[in-house]
Structure formats: structure tokens, C-alpha cells
Amino acid sequence: MTQPIFSDPPTVELLQWLARGSLKQNLLRAVRFWVLLRLLYGDESERLDLSNSFSYSQWRDAFFSPTHPKGEEVPRHQDTQCLCHKKAADWLFAAKTGIQEAEWRCLMTQHAGIDAQTLDTWLQIPLFALTRRMLAGDLQTLTQLQWLKYNKPKYQRVQSFPKRPVTNYERSKERPLITYNFNFLPPDLALIAQNYSQQTDGIQRFFLHVDYVVPSELLDKVEDFQEQLRTLWAQIPVPPVLLVYKSAKHDRNIECIVYPVCIYYVQRATYLCALGHNPNQEVNWWNYRLDRLQSLAPLTWTDDRIPASLLQQYRDNTLPTPDYIQEQMAQAWGFDYYQTACVMLLRFDRIHDRRYIQGTVRHETFKSVSYQEAKRLIKKLTQPPEQKMLLEILARFPQDAYYTATYREGDPNVLQRLQAWRPFVEVLLPETLRQRVAADVEKEWRLYY
């Protein structure tokens, strides 16, 4: 089959889509994605010498020079021929891109709100002088955007590209730019919203309904917190904050000093994702429901109450970004991205699977496995007598459907999904989750008998 060619110029519209959020904040990342697509799918003169299935290390070796560091550190070697030294401007304004630098800068300033001085600074930054984790995260994000497929540990080129904004560069200079205002949504939903946000013949045809559990009397408070955070995120540097949080788990108000990273809407409420002193009095990540915040006060980085590890990240200029959260959520199913990742094995009634599970997407790691693969997984991850018991269960249902996933231990959203699938699903692995679900089923049964 002929491999498709990606030759899209780095227009503001395309970069806005690739930014998956604010282009002003994520410009270099969006340009990096565009470069990666040219290297993966460009014509033969620019495409990397890679097979259609490749690992991160194979991509790294094909892209960088042999002297490029292979560890986790930021590359600082002296080989100027290595592409980790190549600046963003050199990638963007090469002859093959067809982009005129002055015109591109003007469009970026007008439509992305990036001032000329800031843009000058960013364009002189080496685009790929990043850690291994961040570069591997870029490949994972391209997988989420459906530009790659991932079958651990290999990435695979796709045979057809996802829908994206395709704009003729010359035309984009002649007309007002249609900017994307929906990049906080998943890419597929953002495209639907972009296409149908306007009425058709005077009739609205697209509607989005979400369950939202926050009572109306708290909406003003939640909106105030969101606006306060927007103001703080516009500051340089972004300050840490002191939260007073009403913890449902501890049933009391708790003070937490954290670095605020981003806001997510997940399962009927909005959450602040933050790193610092959490309600368990650990220095770790936590998701704070905005309607349970009692107060939010900015601090300075000189405050002696700030956790030492968080302060060190500030001094090292390594404070986390929303990209980190997206990467962690891609690695395992569940919004509690800071919890331990575990392997799950499920058995579905084959009729229920055919009607409701097959052909659906739950998470990147959620996939169907054969009966024999399920048996091998049980033998690999269990010990007697648990192993004997599970193999006996398996032997009774050779025709049923089996699925594996990597999930976050104890994640309430995953637990709710498993509850919604009952009684057509059985948790086989891990044992701790199996026992928890069994205990929940027993409690539920006692309500009725």
C-alpha cells in the first residue's frame, strides 16, 4: 500500500490544532509535532530512514547523531551536527516548507497573540534539546492524535491521516483566520465542535450534554476560582498557592500548599491538578474538586512553607506542565494519574461483548486478548493457589471475551466503569481489584436480600 505524504505547511490553524490547547503556551511543542510528521510522512528526501514499525530508541538513533545522549538528561553535547542543536526557526523557514518568515511571524502575532519579542526568543530555541521522557511523550501524543498506532513497545505509521485543519498558506494570508476555540476537547470532539458550532440554515444541529454534579449555588464560587487561576497562570513565574480544601475522604478542611498545573473536567465535576502537599500530607500530585475548595491564596517562591522538592523543581526550572499529566493518563486508564499502574484482566460475557464492547475505545491500553493470551497472563502474574483457581474459571469459559488494560490502582472512574458493566464482566486480575469488586457485590446483594 502506498504510504501517504504529509506536506502541510505550519499554518497557524494547523499549529493551533496540534497545540492541544493554547498556542501561545504550546507553540514550540506544536512546531515539534509538525516536524515529526514531516520526518515520518514527508517525501523521500526528508523522511527518516525508519521501518513502518519502530521503537522510541530506533527513532532516536535515526534522528539524532551517534553522539546524542541516550540517558534521561537534557542533551548538552558539543556535536553541532546533531539535530538537537537545530533551532525552531531553522526548521520552520527552510526552503522546503514554503513559508515566508516575515509573513508567518505577522500571522502568528496577529492570531495567536504572541508578541514579536517573545516570538524572536522562542524561535532561537533548539527544538529537540529535550529529555528522553519528553520526546517519548511526543510520540505518545501523536498516537492520541491518531498519527501513529502504538503496540508496545513499537509505534506504527498509519495508512490514512486523521482529520485536521488543512489551509492553503497563500489563502490564509488573504482572509481572516478561522481559529480553533475547542482545543481543550479531545481532537475528534474538537473537530465536531468546530464543524458544527455554527448554525446550519439558522438551526443549531450540534449539542453537547454533560452531567455536572456541582450545585447551582456553588457555580459562582467555582467560576471565581477558575478566573483566579487564569490570572495566576498568566504570571511569570506562576506562583504556588495555599489551598483550604474540604476533603471528602478525611471529612474536614485541610490546608495544602501546591503548584497549580491545569484544570480538567472529569466525571461530572471540574478538578484542579496540582503538585505539592496533598490532603494525605504527602508531597505528591492530587486532583482537587473546585467546588470543594474553600479558599485559594497565592504565595511567593520565598515562602518557607513550600515543600523542599517543589522548591527545587522551581529552582531547576523543571516544574510540571499539563503535558506531563496527559502523558501519564495515556500510559494507564484512570484520572488518578499519580497512583500505581496495574495490569487488569477482564472476562466479558460473549454476547454482551459483541453488542457493547467490541469496536469501542476505552483507553489506549484497553485491548482484546485471546483465550490463550489470558491463560499466559494468569500464569505469569499469579501464584498458587490463586493461579489454580483462576485457571479453573478460565477453563469454564473458553468462548468468552477477554480484555487487558493498564489502569490506575483505586481510580474511582475505573471502578465506576466496572460497576456499570456488571453483571456481564468478571475481574480476573489483579487479585486486589477482584476482591474489592466481590466485596462491593456482596454489600449490594445484602441491600436486596
Q: By C-alpha distance, which of 407, 241, 256 is closest to 333?
A: 407
Per-residue pLDDT tens over the stretch 63-84 = 998 888 887 778 877 788 898 8
User: Quick check: 258 pLDDT over 60?
Assistant: yes
Q: In this structure, are 269 and 373 located in the same domain?
A: no
Please report which confidence band the pLDDT of residue 188 belongs to, taking 50, 70 and 90 as the band edges: low
254 and 380, same domain (yes or no): no
For residues 374 and 244, membership in a common domain is answered with no
Is 327 contained in some domain? Answer: no
Can you tell me the distance from the alpha carbon of 8 to that of 42, in angstroms, rounded to the nearest whole number? 9
Handedness of CA 403, 406, 409, 415 (dihedral sign): negative
Phi/psi class of residue 21: alpha, beta or left (left: φ > 0; alpha: ψ in -120 to 50)?
left
* Per-residue pLDDT reduced to its tens digit, 224-238: 899 899 889 988 889
Cell readout for 247 is 476533603
- Read off the DSSP letter of residue 240: P
In angstroms, rounded to a whole number, what is the distance separating the alpha carbons of residues 374 and 429? 10
CA pair distance 347, 426, nearest whole angstrom: 5
- Whether residue 70 is contained in a domain is answered as yes
CB 127 within 8 A of CB 91: yes
In a domain, 183, yes or no: no
Please name which of 376, 226, 241 lies closest in space to residue 300, comparing C-alpha atoms. Answer: 241
Residues 276 and 391 in one domain: no
Strand (E) or helix (H) holding 347:
strand 341-348
Q: What is the pLDDT of residue 137?
A: 86
Residue 15 has pLDDT above 80, yes or no: yes
Verify that 47 and 152 share a domain, yes or no: yes
Asked whether residue 374 is assigned to any structural domain, the reply reads yes
Neighbour tally for 419: CB within 10 Å: 13
Tell me, yes or no, whether 431 lies in a domain: yes
- For residue 242, the SS3 value is strand
Q: Would residue 92 count as lying in a domain?
A: yes
**Cβ atoms within 10 Å, residue 150:** 16
CA distances from 23 to 37, 63, 114, 140, 414 (A): 18, 26, 9, 19, 32
Q: Quickly tell me which residue has 470532539 as its cell.
A: 189
Nearest to 374 by CA among 443, 448, 429: 429
Domains identified in the chain, total number: 3
Find the mean pLDDT for residues 357-380. 93
Residue 313, pLDDT > 90, answer yes
Mean pLDDT check: name the lowest of 48-57, 116-125, 177-186.
Answer: 177-186
Which pLDDT score, from 0 to 100, does residue 171 have?
A: 43
What percentage of the chain exceeds 70 in pLDDT?
92
Task: Work out the pLDDT band at 166, boundaries 50, 70, 90.
Answer: low
Q: Which residue has the higher pLDDT, 449 or 344?
A: 344
Do 245 and 379 lie in one domain? The reply is no
Please tell me the chain's helix, strand, coil percentages from 3-state DSSP, rounded to the nearest 5: 45, 20, 40
pTM over 0.75, yes/no: no
Q: Which residues form the domain of 402?
A: 341-448
Longest Cα–Cα distance in the chain: 76
pLDDT of residue 205: 78
Helix (H) or strand (E) holding 227: helix 219-233
Write the pLDDT tens digit of every residue in 259-305.
999 999 988 889 999 999 999 989 999 999 999 999 999 999 999 99
If you average pLDDT over residues 378-394, what whole number do you get? Answer: 94
Q: How many residues does the chain have?
A: 449
168 & 23 share domain: yes
Stretch 360-375: mean pLDDT, rounded? 93
Does position 21 have pLDDT exceeding 80, yes or no? no
* Least confident range of 92-106, 303-317, 322-336, 390-404: 92-106
Residue 25 or residue 28, greater confidence: 28
Cα 273 from Cα 287, distance rounded (Å): 5
Instruction: Please state, in angstroms and rounded to a whole number, the distance separating the CA atoms of residues 331 and 407.
Output: 8
In a 13 Å sphere around the CA of 51, the CA atoms on its Cβ side amount to 7
% of residues, the chain, pLDDT over 90: 51
Q: Are both 295 and 355 inside the same structural domain?
A: no
| Alpha carbons 189 and 377: distance in angstroms, whole number | 35
Which residues are 260's β-sheet partners? 274
Confidence of residue 187 (pLDDT cuts 50, 70, 90): low
Contact partners, residue 255, CB within 8 Å, separation at least 6? 242, 243, 244, 245, 277
Same-domain check for residues 168 and 52: yes
Is residue 180 one of the residues assigned to a domain? no
153 is a domain residue: yes
Does 146 lie in the same domain as 68?
Answer: yes
pLDDT value of residue 173: 43
Q: State CA 431 to chain mean position distance.
A: 28
* pLDDT band for position 174 (cuts 50, 70, 90): very low
Radius of gyration of the chain (CA): 24
Confidence bin at 176 (pLDDT 50/70/90): very low
210 neighbors 270 (Cβ within 8 angstroms): no
Count of C-beta atoms within a 10 Å radius of residue 98: 12
**Same domain as 244, residue 313:** yes
What pLDDT does residue 406 have?
96
pLDDT at 170 over 50: no
Same domain, 246 and 139: no
Single-letter amino acid, residue 16: Q
